[in-house]
Amino acid sequence: MRIRSSERDYYDIGSSWDHDPEPLYERARHRTELICQQGRWRVVEGADRAAEEVLGRLDDALDVLARTVPYELLLVGFAGCGHGAIVEDGVVLWCTERFDAARERLSPWARERLASVDPAPVAAAARMLDGPEAHRLLDCPILAIHLHNRRRCDLERDPLLEPLGFATVVDPYQAWQRLDAFLGNELARQRDPPSAIDDTLRRDLHGFDERSFRRDPGGPSRKR
């Protein structure tokens, strides 16, 4: 599937950008700011019911996470897989086996501040984004939740992942393959569901006679 966008991301090198056949996917970044009021996430400006529904489904888990790890957090849903990170001193620290090595890039005071932080709760919380549900609601293959604190977050559709260092989590070619498969198998089918083939056409295609298909609950079925 060909992706069209005014901005290139790191995984675009894995695709034949201009020569892939239809259909097209228009990648357009869109950020929605939300605040939690009286136990419900609400859009600050405008209307975005899909964003509110996604945050509403994650509300309790996000509240616990913000209490457990009181830092700016980033949760990314990438083609049906969730990934988590801690943001400190402008550096995105992905909660993978490379977390300790990434922490060494911080300034001394930031490194000391994060010395006792356990990345496991963030990685576990990110798995809430596993599966296609949130992507289908938002109609995008990539989403990012920037959790500033328990009451404020931004939800971004189709964010640029290169500035976030996401290539250390998923390499460009694997990322493109996963996106291509996810767009074709999940979002494309949601936008344009396959139509059922009626019995007459199926009979003509396969050479079955009219008694090969069940016509009603009590009618004849295909003979074997």
Structure confidence by residue, pLDDT tens digits, 29-87: 999 999 998 888 999 988 899 999 999 999 889 989 988 898 999 999 999 999 999 99
3-state SS, residue 86: strand
φ and ψ at 220, to 5 degrees? -70, 150
pLDDT given at position 208: 54
211 vs 49, residue with greater confidence: 49
- Domain assignment present for residue 167? The answer is yes
Residue 205 pLDDT greater than 70, yes or no: no
| Alpha helices (H) along 45-171 | 49-68, 99-103, 108-113, 120-126, 133-138
- Domain assignment present for residue 198? The answer is no
Average pLDDT over residues 127-153: 95
- Domain assignment present for residue 114? The answer is yes
Which residues, in sequence order, are CB contacts of 68 under 8 Å at separation 6+? 121
- Domain assignment present for residue 200? The answer is no
Q: Tens digits of per-residue pLDDT, 143-188?
A: 999 999 989 999 999 999 999 999 999 999 999 999 989 998 888 6
- Domain assignment present for residue 223? The answer is no
Task: Give CA–CA dist 33/153, Å, rounded.
Answer: 6
The verdict on whether omega for the bond into residue 163 sits within 30 degrees of 0, i.e. cis, is no
- Domain assignment present for residue 128? The answer is yes
pLDDT given at position 129: 96
Burial class (CB in 10 A: 0-12, 13-18, 19+), 47: exposed
Task: Give CA–CA dist 59/207, Å, rounded.
Answer: 55
pLDDT given at position 87: 94
Separation of CA 31 from chain center: 14
- Domain assignment present for residue 35? The answer is yes
Range of the domain at 120: 2-191
* Lowest mean pLDDT across 88-92, 131-135, 162-166: 88-92
Band of residue 21 on the pLDDT scale cut at 50, 70, 90 = low
Q: Tens digits of per-residue pLDDT, 106-128?
A: 889 888 888 888 999 999 999 99
Give how many domains the chain has, as a whole number.
1
pLDDT given at position 221: 53
- Domain assignment present for residue 98? The answer is yes
Residue 202 pLDDT greater than 70, yes or no: no
